[in-house]
């Protein structure tokens, strides 16, 4: 049996872990997918944003009129966009694998890994032994278990497949109301596709602040049909050889949506089943989330986990952070470090963009935390005037005793960029007055909307009990 110092399962964030500092070790890297490099590179963050950018450019035509310019409505060449995206990504994936296979200290296995015992993995038809094992097996799209799925499978897609289709559909039904649904709704609507979003609950983007949710629904509903509180009950062949998506609302009333293509975007499931975790005694939650401590160590001391398989956050920047924790802890076992999950930001690259970090107002109310809030409109700062902005804002929540930020929520252009100084302030404990007044803010740049939100916080009325404290 081949013996390794380290076995890493999963070539996404797991692959990045194996840097030159592991050159003295014998390392096994195991990947079951013929495509190397994991979700973010091949079917997640990167290709989606490469579709979002042209969607942003195309949809800017709608903004032009109010600025006094006339742009001709554009047209998306699906095949050109698709080929540009994957013409760039596929060689990166293939090149990454080729480079890895040339590493003398790394053996790449192209097979599925499962535990035989805490130190032994079955990899295809062979068994290997490793002193340390890292689980980085990620997640996959959740599929709905609905009649008609198998028969119409060629037209029912997930985020794994929809970006590679040959022709852009005229109509698409998107099932779900989370990040994936929101981003693809923007992409397809901007490309001129007739988009219907069907969601089983009553709000889109359930984790976001309520004011952001409301603004998002109001703005996206101008471009796509949004249907709430409906569950899919069947997929059927439609009269025109299309797909009939049959849904039911909470009162049992049935609806039918005819479409050329369906995108199922109802969340993700962790890739834990094939690992046979019980054979290693590794603890996991009923949904497959592997339990880890702050060092990213499972209950079995030589088995570590990172990224979607174990994290509360299915985000690449979190997977990368956790990867660096595991990397350090493998290299310096006498000086273990912890992952920092205090201020994890997220951005939804839809239109309008959304970004957030920290608590929502709803959470602060639930927790009974005193807070002050300021909602600052883009439209009230100079750059917002230049943009003739409507409906976008920054919402800040702060502790009126310590003046530390508790949450930041942005909906509007460049939200994913504007949030970063707020993440920095929260991470390093910068107070609202210091951040607002202790530095220059470039005039008349868009971050003035953050500056004004911070200054505004200092002027809102504080809860009465604090005035006398
Ligand atoms: C459409 C989409 C858009 C996204 N956009 C963003 C974004 O903009 N920003 C962001 O931060 N995050 C985004 N994400 C989330 C991000 O892609 C993931 O959080 C991240 O890629 C997880 O990385 P990972 O290393 O944990 O897993 P992965 O990258 O999924 O890697 C896991 C690998 O393990 C392999 N594997 C699984 N089981 C086994 C086994 N038993 N044996 C061998 N190999 C196995 C899999 O084949 C896979 O290659 C997006 C996700 C999706 C789906
Ligand atoms: N920009 C980004 O950072 C980005 C982009 C895409 C995805 N992601 C990550 O990937 C994760 C997965 O995205 P997602 O949109 O698939 O999931 P999600 O968890 O964001 O949303 C899933 C939605 O589907 C609904 N749902 C769940 N089960 C259902 C069922 N059986 N029937 C009908 N509806 C159901 C949920 O209510 C929820 O609204 C995100 O949570 C995020 O962490 C990040």
CATH of the domain at 41: 3.50.50.60
Which residues fall within 8 angstroms of residue 267, CB to CB, at 6 or more apart? Answer: 141, 142, 176, 178
Give distance in angstroms: CA of 306 to centre of ligand 1.
11
- Atom from ligand 1 closest to the CA of residue 349: 8
DSSP at 207: T
- For residues 72 and 160, membership in a common domain is answered with no
**Nearest residue (CA) to ligand 2, atom 10:** 314
For residue 138 and ligand 2, the question of a CB distance below 6 A is answered with: no
Pocket test residue of 39, 157, 178, 322 for ligand 2, highest count of atoms within 8 A of CB: 178
Pocket test residue of 45, 265, 280 for ligand 1, highest count of atoms within 8 A of CB: 45
Q: Is residue 172 part of a domain?
A: yes
- For residues 311 and 358, membership in a common domain is answered with no
Beta bridge partners of 9: 30, 135
Q: Is residue 340 part of a domain?
A: no
Q: Is residue 280 part of a domain?
A: yes
Q: Which ligand is nearest to the CA of 49?
A: 1
Identified catalytic residue from 157, 317, 404, 443 = 443
Pocket test residue of 179, 271, 309 for ligand 1, highest count of atoms within 8 A of CB: 271
Query: CA–CA separation, 104 vs 23, rounded Å?
Result: 8
- For residues 8 and 134, membership in a common domain is answered with yes
Annotated catalytic, 468?
Answer: no
How far from the centroid of its chain's Cα atoms is residue 284's Cα?
A: 22
- pLDDT for residue 73: 85
Give distance in angstroms: CA of 392 to centre of ligand 2.
23
Q: Is residue 255 part of a domain?
A: yes
pTM, whole model, 2 decimals?
0.97
- pLDDT for residue 300: 98
- pLDDT for residue 464: 61
Q: Is 243 annotated as a binding residue?
A: no
- For residues 258 and 273, membership in a common domain is answered with no
- For residues 6 and 132, membership in a common domain is answered with yes
Q: Is 137 annotated as a binding residue?
A: yes
For residue 177 and ligand 1, the question of a CB distance below 6 A is answered with: no
For residue 308 and ligand 1, the question of a CB distance below 6 A is answered with: yes
Q: Are 246 and 235 in contact (CB under 8 A)?
A: yes
Element (H, E) at 126: strand 126-135
- For residues 219 and 316, membership in a common domain is answered with no
- For residues 273 and 262, membership in a common domain is answered with no
**Nearest residue (CA) to ligand 1, atom 47:** 33
In terms of residue numbers, what domain contains 397?
A: 352-462
Q: Is residue 346 part of a domain?
A: no
Looking at 245, 266, 287, which one is the last position of a domain? 266
Give distance in angstroms: CA of 279 to centre of ligand 2.
30
For residue 291 and ligand 2, the question of a CB distance below 6 A is answered with: no
- For residues 277 and 252, membership in a common domain is answered with no
Pocket test residue of 39, 247, 267 for ligand 2, highest count of atoms within 8 A of CB: 267
- Atom from ligand 1 closest to the CA of residue 42: 29
Is the ipTM, as predicted for this complex, more than 0.95? yes
- For residues 118 and 235, membership in a common domain is answered with no
For residue 180 and ligand 1, the question of a CB distance below 6 A is answered with: yes
Q: Is residue 10 part of a domain?
A: yes
- For residues 24 and 103, membership in a common domain is answered with yes
Q: Which ligand is nearest to the CA of 51?
A: 1
The number of distinct structural domains making up the chain is: 3
- pLDDT for residue 5: 98
Beta bridge partners of 369: none
**Nearest residue (CA) to ligand 2, atom 1:** 348
Q: Is residue 401 part of a domain?
A: yes
Looking at 227, 242, 266, which one is the last position of a domain? 266
Q: How far is CA 446 from CA 315, 382, 397, in A?
A: 26, 8, 20
- pLDDT for residue 469: 43
The CATH number linked to 429 is: 3.30.390.30
Q: Is 138 annotated as a binding residue?
A: yes
Q: Is 267 annotated as a binding residue?
A: yes
- Atom from ligand 2 closest to the CA of residue 346: 3
Which residues fall within 8 angstroms of residue 197, CB to CB, at 6 or more apart? Answer: 173, 174, 175, 176, 177, 181, 185, 204, 224, 225, 226, 227
Looking at 266, 282, 312, which one is the last position of a domain? 266
Q: Is 183 annotated as a binding residue?
A: yes
- For residues 273 and 369, membership in a common domain is answered with no
Element (H, E) at 458: helix 448-459
User: Per residue of the chain (469 residues), what is the pLDDT tens digit?
Assistant: 999 999 999 999 999 999 999 999 999 999 999 999 999 999 999 999 999 999 999 999 888 989 999 998 889 999 999 999 999 999 999 999 999 999 999 999 999 999 999 999 999 999 999 999 999 999 999 999 999 999 999 999 999 999 999 999 999 999 999 999 999 999 999 999 999 999 999 999 999 999 999 999 999 999 999 999 999 999 999 999 999 999 999 999 999 999 999 999 999 999 999 999 999 999 999 999 999 999 999 999 999 999 999 999 999 999 999 999 999 999 999 999 999 999 999 999 999 999 999 999 999 999 999 999 999 999 999 999 999 999 999 999 999 999 999 999 999 999 999 999 999 999 999 999 999 999 999 999 999 999 999 999 999 877 666 654 4
- Atom from ligand 1 closest to the CA of residue 112: 42
- For residues 218 and 243, membership in a common domain is answered with yes
For residue 308 and ligand 2, the question of a CB distance below 6 A is answered with: no
Nearest to 99 by CA among 10, 9, 4, 18: 18
Q: Is residue 27 part of a domain?
A: yes
């Amino acid at each position: 049996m081949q013996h390794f110092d380290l076995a890493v399962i999963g070539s996404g964030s797991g692959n990045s872990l194996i840097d030159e500092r592991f050159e003295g070790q014998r390392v096994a890297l195991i990947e079951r997918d013929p495509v190397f490099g994991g979700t973010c590179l091949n079917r997640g963050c990167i290709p989606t944003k490469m579709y979002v950018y042209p969607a942003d450019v195309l949809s800017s035509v709608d903004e032009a009129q109010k600025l006094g310019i006339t742009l001709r409505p554009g047209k998306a060449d699906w095949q050109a966009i698709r080929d540009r995206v994957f013409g760039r990504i596929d060689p990166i994936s293939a090149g990454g694998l080729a480079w890895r296979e040339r590493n003398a200290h790394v053996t790449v296995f192209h097979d599925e890994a499962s535990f035989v015992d805490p130190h032994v993995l079955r990899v295809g038809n062979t068994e290997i032994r490793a002193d340390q094992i890292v689980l980085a097996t990620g997640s996959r799209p959740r599929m709905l278990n609905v009649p008609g799925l198998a028969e119409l499978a060629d037209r029912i897609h997930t985020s794994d497949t929809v970006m590679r289709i040959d022709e852009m559909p005229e109509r698409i039904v998107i099932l779900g109301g989370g990040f994936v649904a929101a981003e693809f709704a923007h992409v397809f609507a901007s490309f001129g596709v007739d988009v219907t979003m069907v969601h089983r609950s009553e709000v889109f983007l359930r984790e976001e602040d309520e004011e952001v949710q409301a603004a998002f629904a109001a703005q996206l509903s101008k471009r796509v049909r949004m249907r709430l509180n409906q569950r899919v009950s069947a997929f059927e062949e439609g009269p025109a050889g299309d797909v009939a998506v049959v849904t039911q609302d909470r009162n049992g009333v049935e609806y039918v949506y005819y479409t050329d293509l369906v995108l199922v975007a109802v969340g993700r499931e962790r890739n834990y089943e094939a690992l046979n975790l019980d054979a290693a005694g590794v603890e996991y939650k009923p949904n497959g989330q592997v339990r880890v401590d702050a060092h990213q160590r499972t209950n079995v001391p030589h088995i570590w986990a990172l990224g979607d398989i174990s994290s509360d956050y299915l985000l690449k920047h979190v997977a990368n952070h956790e990867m660096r924790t595991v990397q350090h802890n493998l290299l310096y076992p006498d000086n273990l470090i912890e992952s920092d999950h205090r201020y994890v930001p997220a951005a939804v690259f839809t239109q309008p963009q959304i970004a957030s970090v920290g608590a929502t107002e709803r959470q602060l109310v639930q927790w009974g935390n005193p807070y002050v809030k300021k909602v600052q409109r883009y439209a009230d700062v100079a750059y917002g005037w230049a943009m003739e902005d409507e409906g976008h804002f920054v919402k800040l929540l702060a502790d009126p005793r310590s003046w530390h930020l508790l949450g930041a929520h942005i909906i509007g252009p460049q939200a994913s960029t504007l949030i970063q100084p707020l993440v920095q302030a929260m991470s390093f404990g910068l107070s609202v007055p210091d951040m607002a007044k202790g530095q220059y803010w470039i005039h008349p740049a868009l971050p003035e909307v953050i500056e004004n939100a911070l200054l505004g916080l200092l002027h809102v009325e504080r809860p009465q009990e604090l005035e006398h404290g």
